[in-house]
Amino acid sequence: MAAELATPPADLRQFLRVSPDEAFVSLDLAVDGIKCAACMATIERAMSREPGVVGARVNLGAKRLHVTFERREADPARILRRLDELGFKAYPFSPRQVEDSKAQEMRRLLRCLGVAAFASMNVMLLSVAVWSGHETGLDPTTRDLFHWLSALIALPTAAYSGRPFYESAIGALKRRRVNMDVPITLGICLALVMSVFEVLRHGEHAYFDGVVMLLFFLLIGRTLDQVMQRRTQLVAANLAALRAEFATKRLPDGTWRDVPIDMVEPGDVILVRIGDRVAADGRIEEGRSDIDQSLVTGETAHRAVRPGDEVYAGTQNLGGALVVRVLKSQEGTLLAGVERLLAQAAQTKGAYIRLADRAARLYPPFVHTVALLTFLGWMMMGIGWHDALMIAITVLIITCPCALGLAVPAVQVVAAGAMFRNGILIQSGDAIERLAEIDRVVFDKTGTLTLPAADIANREEIPAEDVMLAARLALTSRHPLAAAIAAQDKAAKPLATAREVPGEGVKACHAGQVVRLGSPAFCEAMPEAEALATRFPGASIVAFRHGERLALFAIRQPYREDAEATVAALGTMKLPTEIISGDRPRAVAEAARDLGIANWRGGALPGDKVTWLEQMKRFGARPLMVGDGLNDAPALAAGHASIAPASASQLAQTQADFLLVGQRLGAIVPAIRIARKARWLMLENLWISVLYNLIAVPVAILGHATPLVAALAMSGSSIIVTLNALRAGRGAGEKS
């Protein structure tokens, strides 16, 4: 049968990328364990000695390795082996299209920023001369020369560096909407036209400096926004690669081969070995087994399956090898249901509007009305349309949202950095604001409050010699529960006579007697096992029989080390906690009692979780959902904010606003604290911008906003806002 097959080597060729001139191929690897410069040097030196390798470069920030080979001598498997010898686990991946386009976008922004920085420095150099010339009597010819030079620099710069804003503004107008970039574009264009016009008629004031400086500050805001998104993406992509998702697929000639999961299509036949995760939804064609569905449903009791039953991606195969025919995901009832719930949750969630967007919505009508009124007002005062228009345009320039554009992104970048140092990864832009508003925390149990790996709960009740012998037996089995027992004695050696009885356990001869480890039925221990199961409601029972001796292991997932401390810390922050789990009510009740959580619900289907959260929201509550399973994905989408551990199912990870990197659940606490502080600073920054306008706009309306005043006001407010944002990372990040 298929189970006896040796593991075929994974096909690494599809990860290779061919260079345009076809002489070289390259491979990208996410490398686990790169910590310092020494690792970087070790890897690069070792790689450059491998035959066929032309170059190897480690990206220390992204924890990645890029290797280039001679095309004919490329041997990626060898590279992986060498890295393994050096003590680094490496996982090949193909950089996603999104990531490439984001990197390009980032470079484009940086180019625009560089050009704007150059232009504002040089235009300012000329402008300072003009301004001081007003006092010292600069002769008009020289002033005109300086203005023309400024125009020569500012016009191409505005055409080049302003493109991100123009494109976004035109895009918005095409969709018949108005965003922040519309008044920016309008302001820039009007200011340039007016300045050129002024220079032509030898006027005193030109606003070229204001325009390039405005572009410079706004581009800083945009770039900061991108920096945050990019950092998140890099780490998320590495996490995905680290999970190394392979499936064993049957090829047309009947042989089996490991392929990356995205190459498995409906109709394919895959092999799921004992202990493996099922790679795709499908129907069993051959084999019987027990399936651990805890990552999918939260249920810790195992489900027995046989040919004809459906199995879901992400569940773990415990009993025997299975041959599965892959179904379309629509046909898998569970996933289809989860997806329907997700769409529903996304609809109800649409209500949240970011702080920056709320500000942006108020901004254009306000600015345009004020500018128009100023124009009409001065016309009525009878100063002539030229002067009235000049003043109206200075109002447009001076209200341009430098500070507003920086107010939120600057805080977000600083807060994201502080969270990153605490082991929290932000996945969506408005997540910080939403996390700051939460008033209760809802946990999933399995995989969230507990660790994904199992452990023995009643260890101290079992004689040491039984544990040792059981550990030796367990080494022969690939069953995940056996791994928990085998881990008890690191020095154990497998028994020579041991052999696995598929779906039941392990049997061996030891000191003239038969020893068995496996299901209670296999060891004839049903009544005892039932008694133990009532004492440990959440546990799976494994029996061990050695002649007359009998030992029963209650195996369950232990709580995360800091689960109880986290719940307590949330309590002191006046955040009530709840558990809502798909596991049996008895097991959930036990966890709630152990961790000191008063409210709990067990046996909840994915839909129940969503309903429960929506009910809370209807009563005005803002729940933070913390969960990991496929069944939690809709609930994560429905929560006001959501967090998933890095071990979570892929769907849960894509739905969560934040990812916990590492085992610590406690990172939630500083994350909430940082988010609250960040939201406070964002509001503060927005108010600083408003205050700035309250002072600057009347000055402009009265016609006193010379280019010098505009330059001071705009740069001053931007710098204040940025300095204020730097406070987001301080103080809040201390380890609890």
**Shortest approach of another protein to residue 674 CB, angstroms?**
22
**Shortest approach of another protein to residue 154 CB, angstroms?**
13
Element containing residue 32 per DSSP (H, E)? strand 24-32
**Shortest approach of another protein to residue 244 CB, angstroms?**
22
Rounded to an integer, what distance in angstroms lies between the CA atom of residue 221 and that of residue 716? 15
DSSP state of 268: -
Q: Which is nearer to another protein, 136 or 572 (CB)?
A: 136
**Shortest approach of another protein to residue 40 CB, angstroms?**
6
**Shortest approach of another protein to residue 26 CB, angstroms?**
6
35 binds another protein per the rule CB under 8 A? no
* CA angle 89–95–97, rounded 5-degree value: 160
Dihedral sign (CA 322, 257, 64, 44): positive
**In this chain, which of 142, 347, 513, 615 binds another protein, going by CB under 8 A?**
142
Interacting span for another protein (CB under 8 A) from 58-66, 175-183, 364-372, 728-736: 58-66
29 binds another protein per the rule CB under 8 A? no
Q: Which is nearer to another protein, 118 or 559 (CB)?
A: 118
Q: Which is nearer to another protein, 114 or 365 (CB)?
A: 114
Q: Evaluate whether 517 touches 482 at the Cβ level (below 8 Å).
A: yes
Q: Which is nearer to another protein, 148 or 197 (CB)?
A: 148
CA-wise closest residue to 169 among 156, 152, 188: 188
Rounded to an integer, what distance in angstroms lies between the CA atom of residue 636 and that of residue 441? 12
**Shortest approach of another protein to residue 67 CB, angstroms?**
10
131 binds another protein per the rule CB under 8 A? no
Q: Which is nearer to another protein, 29 or 327 (CB)?
A: 29
**In this chain, which of 14, 48, 132, 330 binds another protein, going by CB under 8 A?**
48
CA-wise closest residue to 614 among 580, 590, 586: 580
121 binds another protein per the rule CB under 8 A? yes
In a 10 Å sphere around its CB, with 0-12 CB exposed, 13-18 middle and 19+ buried, how is residue 49 labelled? exposed
**Shortest approach of another protein to residue 31 CB, angstroms?**
13
**In this chain, which of 2, 46, 86, 125 binds another protein, going by CB under 8 A?**
125
45 binds another protein per the rule CB under 8 A? yes
In the shown chain, the binding pattern of residues 149 to 178 toward another protein, with x for contact by CB under 8 A and - for none, equals: x---x-------------------------
| Length of the chain in terms of residues written | 736
**In this chain, which of 24, 148, 160, 197 binds another protein, going by CB under 8 A?**
24
Q: Evaluate whether 7 touches 246 at the Cβ level (below 8 Å).
A: no
* CA angle 417–410–639, rounded 5-degree value: 65
579 binds another protein per the rule CB under 8 A? no
Dihedral sign (CA 480, 481, 484, 487): negative
Rounded to an integer, what distance in angstroms lies between the CA atom of residue 280 and that of residue 295? 14
CA-wise closest residue to 404 among 352, 367, 375: 367
60 binds another protein per the rule CB under 8 A? yes
Rounded to an integer, what distance in angstroms lies between the CA atom of residue 162 and that of residue 149? 19
- Rounded to the nearest 5°, which phi and psi values hold at 368? -70, -35
Q: Which of 276, 444, 628, 657 is catalytic?
A: 444
14 binds another protein per the rule CB under 8 A? no
Q: Which is nearer to another protein, 231 or 546 (CB)?
A: 231
**In this chain, which of 9, 20, 137, 512 binds another protein, going by CB under 8 A?**
20
631 binds another protein per the rule CB under 8 A? no
Interacting span for another protein (CB under 8 A) from 2-10, 59-67, 413-421, 682-690: 59-67
**In this chain, which of 66, 288, 368, 617 binds another protein, going by CB under 8 A?**
66
89-118 binders of another protein (CB under 8 A): 95, 100, 103, 107, 110-111, 114-115, 117-118
What CA–CA distances, in Å, run from 622 to 127, 411, 618, 653?
52, 23, 9, 20
Q: Which is nearer to another protein, 132 or 599 (CB)?
A: 132
In a 10 Å sphere around its CB, with 0-12 CB exposed, 13-18 middle and 19+ buried, how is residue 636 labelled? buried
N-to-C CA span, the chain: 53
Catalytic site includes residue 444:
yes
How many residues of this chain bind another protein (CB under 8 A)?
44
Lookup: tokens for 289: 């087994």
Q: Which is nearer to another protein, 61 or 512 (CB)?
A: 61
Rounded to an integer, what distance in angstroms lies between the CA atom of residue 328 and that of residue 330? 5
230 binds another protein per the rule CB under 8 A? no
Count of other CB atoms within 10 angstroms of residue 731: 11
Q: Which is nearer to another protein, 63 or 676 (CB)?
A: 63
| Interior/surface letters 488-508, b for 16+ CB within 10 angstroms, e for the rest | bbeebebbeebebeebbbbbb
**Shortest approach of another protein to residue 432 CB, angstroms?**
23
Q: Which is nearer to another protein, 66 or 510 (CB)?
A: 66
Lookup: tokens for 263: 């190459």
Q: How far is CA 471 from the centre of its chain?
A: 39
- Rounded to the nearest 5°, which phi and psi values hold at 242? -65, -25
Q: Which is nearer to another protein, 40 or 244 (CB)?
A: 40
Q: Evaluate whether 283 touches 487 at the Cβ level (below 8 Å).
A: no
**Shortest approach of another protein to residue 191 CB, angstroms?**
22
**Shortest approach of another protein to residue 17 CB, angstroms?**
5
**In this chain, which of 122, 477, 488, 540 binds another protein, going by CB under 8 A?**
122
**In this chain, which of 42, 59, 348, 706 binds another protein, going by CB under 8 A?**
59
**In this chain, which of 5, 8, 33, 41 binds another protein, going by CB under 8 A?**
41
* Locus of tokens 């364990």: 33
51 binds another protein per the rule CB under 8 A? no
* Locus of tokens 């922004």: 109
Q: Which is nearer to another protein, 17 or 617 (CB)?
A: 17
| H helical segments located in 20-178 | 37-49, 76-86, 97-136, 140-161, 163-174
Rounded to an integer, what distance in angstroms lies between the CA atom of residue 489 and that of residue 641? 42
428 binds another protein per the rule CB under 8 A? no
DSSP letter string, 580-619: E-SS-HHHHHHHHHHHT--EEE-S--HHHHHHHHHHHHHT
Interacting span for another protein (CB under 8 A) from 120-128, 171-179, 339-347, 550-558: 120-128
Active site (catalytic) residues: 444
Residues in the site for another protein, rule: CB under 8 A? 17-21, 23-24, 26, 36-37, 40-41, 44-45, 48, 54-62, 66, 68, 95, 100, 103, 107, 110-111, 114-115, 117-118, 121-122, 125-126, 142, 145, 149, 153
